[in-house]
Chain A
Amino acid sequence: DTAVSQTPKYLVTQMGNDKSIKCEQNLGHDTMYWYKQDSKKFLKIMFSYNNKELIINETVPNRFSPKSPDKAHLNLHINSLELGDSAVYFCASSQGYGMNNEQFFGPGTRLTVL
């Protein structure tokens, strides 16, 4: 069983379009995240949700809007796509406080904006 899944795996689109990436975790975790890995391979946090509530937004443009319909899902909607949005986006989840909070990552969605 896949723990954290993302769809689609690849997404190619034109500048100015609106697109969504979906994430689901079947681990029963309370916290979910979106990370972005740019062309230089730097991995950076974008958003963090706990029990469907936004707890961290790392100065991401308003064009990016995460939505968590329930604890198991955290989708990422991007409006008016720009060339600089091209990257690999990773969803992750974790549970619990203290040091027993290993994060589980999805396989990533490679977004290419033309």
Chain B
Amino acid sequence: DAKTTQPNSMESNEEEPVHLPCNHSTISGTDYIHWYRQLPSQGPEYVIHGLTSNVNNRMASLAIAEDRKSSTLILHRATLRDAAVYYCILRDLDSGNTPLVFGKGTRLSVIA
């Protein structure tokens, strides 16, 4: 799996949008961009993934740069419950059921 770079930490006010960046300059054409998050004292949970087009689901949006060398996870209205470590992970199309390779992630703090 190719390497990703994320800021160590970010802070947001409650009810405001949060943009979590991820750089992946060595991404290959068959790498999907996955995001997981780990809430305090819990296991990681899947958030969203995409290849080229922007993606939306009930949890978040994923904006992917045109050259695919970076992406941004967008939480539209941060809540206290969104405080977590967010991991950006590249997965090859053929990775199938291979393990996830976690980096350090971004620790998001949400202020009331």
For residue B42, give the distance in angstroms from its CB to the closest CB of chain A: 6
Decide if A90 touches B102 in the complex (CB within 8 Å): no
Q: Which residue of A lies closest to B85 (CB)?
A: A41
Q: Is the CB of A90 within 8 A of B44?
A: yes
Q: Chain A contacts of B45 at CB under 8 A?
A: 104-105
CB of B32 within 8 A of CB of A99, answer yes
Segment at the interface with B among A12-20, A44-52, A63-71 = A44-52
CA distance A95 to B95 in the complex (A): 12
Binding site secondary structure of chain B: loop
The one of A42, A56, A58, A97 in contact with B102, judged by C-beta atoms closer than 8 angstroms, is A42
Total count of chain A residues near the partner, CB < 8 A: 30
Chain A residues whose CB sits within 8 angstroms of the CB of B36 once the complex forms: 103
Interface residues of B in 75-112 (CB under 8 A from A): 85, 91, 93-102, 104
Residue pair B99, A101 in contact (C-beta under 8 Å) = no
Interface flag for A86 (CB, 8 Å): no
Closest residue of chain B to A93 (Cβ to Cβ) is B97
User: Which chain B positions have C-beta within 8 A of A97?
Assistant: 94, 96-97
CB pair B42–A107 under 8 Å, yes or no, is yes
Given the interface pairs A41-B85, A43-B102, the reply to whether A101 lies near B97 with Cβ below 8 Å is yes
* Contact across chains for B85 and A48 when beta carbons are under 8 A apart: no
Which single residue of chain B is at the shortest CB-CB distance from A108? B43
Given contacts A43-B102, A97-B97, A105-B44, 5 further A-B contacts (CB under 8 A): A43-B38, A56-B98, A97-B94, A99-B49, A106-B43
Q: List 18 A-B contacts (CB under 8 A).
A: A31-B97, A33-B99, A41-B85, A42-B102, A43-B100, A45-B99, A45-B100, A48-B97, A48-B98, A58-B99, A101-B95, A103-B100, A104-B45, A105-B43, A105-B44, A105-B45, A107-B43, A108-B42
